[in-house]
A and B are shown apart, each in its own frame.
Chain A
């Protein structure tokens, strides 16, 4: 069945470095993708989204890249800060009522 998964379960970086978190999806019909950040004991927080008619979208310090050819999604965080430490999930929407399929998550740890 369809699935959304992550290549790297953990990522450790130094403060100030750029971080890249990757995600693979298997449903080529998916047309909307979201990145969430989840801090310990809290619900996922929306970071950035991208639709399938785009291949890049930028936010504040974050960029999402979509490669539909290889069904790959990535989140780039510039100048990573200790407050960026969290679990990051990619999610895929493929139905009219907006049912999300989540990946397993990547733990990002930023060392000062």
Chain B
């Protein structure tokens, strides 16, 4: 069966520091991969998605970037964190190439910027 892992679960970082959040998927090949941010008590906002290695699409302008160095690895990064980058970050995957498939989420990273 497929599994998705995110780490770390929680992270406290000072303003201006770099960021690297990692997500890996097991049990599937060539998945679509996604990064979302969720503000407290709100819905999910899509940040990035990827349909293959090295292919990244950004949904909203922001201080973050994403990379996909391997088929089942998705990384969310920042060179200098802002206070507004605080939030709950979720990685998700879905089957490739078939329209209308559910996305499956990891358990997220709670990021606090001080």
Contact = CB atoms under 8 A, between A and B. Distances in A.
Interface of A: 31-32, 34, 36, 41-46, 49, 51, 89, 93, 96-100, 102-105
A32 B100 CA distance: 6
Contacts of A103: 43
Interface range on chain B: under 10, 10 to 19, 20 to 34, or 35 or more?
20 to 34
B108 A43 contact: yes
Contacts of A100: 44, 46, 103
29 contacts: A31-B99, A32-B99, A32-B100, A36-B105, A41-B107, A42-B107, A42-B108, A43-B90, A43-B108, A44-B90, A44-B105, A46-B102, A49-B100, A51-B100, A89-B43, A97-B32, A97-B49, A97-B51, A98-B99, A98-B100, A98-B103, A99-B46, A99-B49, A100-B44, A100-B46, A102-B44, A104-B42, A104-B43, A105-B42
A111 to B, nearest CB: 21
Given A93-B100, A100-B44, 4 more contacts: A44-B105, A46-B104, A89-B43, A97-B32
Nearest to A51: B100
A67 B92 CA distance: 28
A43 B100 contact: no
A43 B94 contact: no
Contacts of B41: 105
